[in-house]
Chain A
Amino acid sequence: MISVDDKLKEIGKYIPQPDDDMLVCRCEEVTKGEIRQAVHAGMFTIEEIRRFLRCGMGLCQGQTCGKLVKGIVARELKVSPAELEPAVSRAPMRPMEMEILGRDGGDK
């Protein structure tokens, strides 16, 4: 059970950092500061952060920034990154053209 009130009190107020404007998710252009602020707005899971900011939702599906985002969120929450559940991996494994994906023969 996670009380949002208690957790927000525990992690304290959002304090800007000099590198907050650094791009973390290149596909969707999400900065470190945006991720940190989302945590302070009550988004504590990687799923919530993704849904709110779109980091990891672009072409590479988080293969580049996934670990970085996790590290930033964990530091902000004052927990170990191992305690955070990773975002769900979703099919297809690699981006695939509709014309090819549609050719599984299922309609025949």
Chain B
Amino acid sequence: MKKAADVIIIGGGINGCAAAYYLAKRGVKDVIVLEAAKSIGHGGSSRNGGGVRQSGRDPRELPYAMYAVKHMWPTLSEELGVDVEYCQAGNLRLGKTEAHLEKLNRLAQNARNAGVDVRMIDAKEVKEINPYLSDEIIGASWCPTDGHANPMLTTLAYYKRAVELGVSFVKDAPVKAIQKVKGKARKVITADGTVFEGETMILAAGYESREIARTVGIDIPMTRYFEEALVTEMQPPMFDQMLGTADADFYGHQAKHGSFVFGSECGLEEAADMPLTDTRTSSLTMSAGCRAIMGYIPALKDAKIVRSWGGWLDMCIDEVPVISPVEEVPGLILACAFTGHGFGTAPSVGLMLSQMVVGEETVVDISALRYNRFKADR
């Protein structure tokens, strides 16, 4: 087994796999990716709703979210040789009350200020776009350039292409610490004591990145949050848009094979404190999710739920990720705290991580996401 390389990537999720792929694509093939689980993409990468979204994003994230939608997602299936099920059919955020519409209007205004085409539409137009929705809906915000893709396929497609291009992956290799040698990040130590060595390291291990970064004196203020999803049996093709609500009580879409995938909450998530390895779903969330979904898409009341799943989000204190090299630890690049919306941006984040490794300017400016932006506010 290879234990030394130019680049060591800690975390075989979508950001780690995408970074490995874009490095290999540009000729940097001496790369090792260490994944803690036995399966690639076992964390948030296979536990998310598949949104490829620009609307509703923080202005600091928008440039690279928009870059991915414009320049990367449309050709990704072709590039990776796997159909990642990207579908750019728009995002409807639905409202049932005047207070909902006020909130949606505010979000739409923010998005327009940042250069994203999001507009408010009335009940009639909502029905024209999606005839299956409830008559209780009085309006929505509409972003025609948003969409969705299959997160599990996208992650594994990046992995498969990276393997084909010569990247070395090691699974079941949880990292415990990074060690400096002569002031530079140099060694990566796994739980069983194996030492890997590299010139540059990318730390993209979700919430677990926090413990690992601490071993070189860097702390990223993030917490963890448990979120669940449910999946219906296959349905005839109904609609292609991504749906969300002003109330944020559910979101989801119909996947290519016919199942609907819906994220939902029961309201008790803040207090979830199981170990990170425990991703069993709660007995309350599925039922709460079903009620919320039927309130907006009554046509689905007879659809059977076949499966539910849960996963941990790495929530940053200011709700945008940390993507930057670390000055105090030369050779270390952080990519973590994606706060539950890292899937849609993974292509551009992977590309920018590969650019950081070779010391090139990133395709868009992301200096607002630096690791040292957190200041005391008292």
- Seen from chain A, the residues whose Cβ lies within 8 Å of a Cβ on chain B are 1-6, 8, 28, 41-45, 47-48, 51-52, 54, 57-59, 61, 85, 90-92, 95-99, 101-104, 106-107
Contacts and interface: CB of A to CB of B under 8 A. Distances in A.
Nearest to B232: A98
B304 A95 contact: yes
Contact of B160 (A28, A42, A106): A42
Contacts of A99: 290, 294, 301-302
14 contacts: A2-B173, A5-B168, A41-B163, A52-B152, A52-B153, A54-B257, A59-B234, A95-B305, A98-B293, A98-B301, A98-B303, A99-B294, A101-B286, A101-B305
A67 B151 CA distance: 26
Given A5-B1, A28-B257, A51-B152, A44 B284 contact: no
Nearest to B174: A1
B9 to A, nearest CB: 13
Contact of B309 (A1, A6, A90, A98): A90
A39 to B, nearest CB: 12
Interface stretch (B37-45, B89-97, B343-351): B37-45
B170 interface: yes
Interface in B355-373: none
B39 A48 contact: yes
Interface string B97-126: 000000000000000000000000000000
B40 to A, nearest CB: 6
Interface of B: 1-2, 38-42, 46, 152-153, 155-156, 159-160, 163-164, 168-173, 190, 192, 194, 232-234, 257, 266, 281, 284, 286-288, 290-291, 293-294, 300-309
Given A1-B172, A2-B170, A106 B287 contact: yes
B291 A102 contact: yes
Nearest to B302: A97
B163 to A, nearest CB: 5
A1 B291 contact: no
B301 A1 contact: no
Closest 4 CB pairs of A and B: A102-B290, A51-B152, A95-B304, A104-B287
A70 B2 CA distance: 29
Contacts of A45: 38-39
Given A43-B156, A51-B156, A54-B257, A97 B168 contact: no
Contact of B163 (A4, A48, A92): A4
A3 B306 contact: no
A59 B234 CA distance: 8
Contacts of B155: 51
Contact of A41 (B160, B284, B308): B160
A8 B169 CA distance: 11
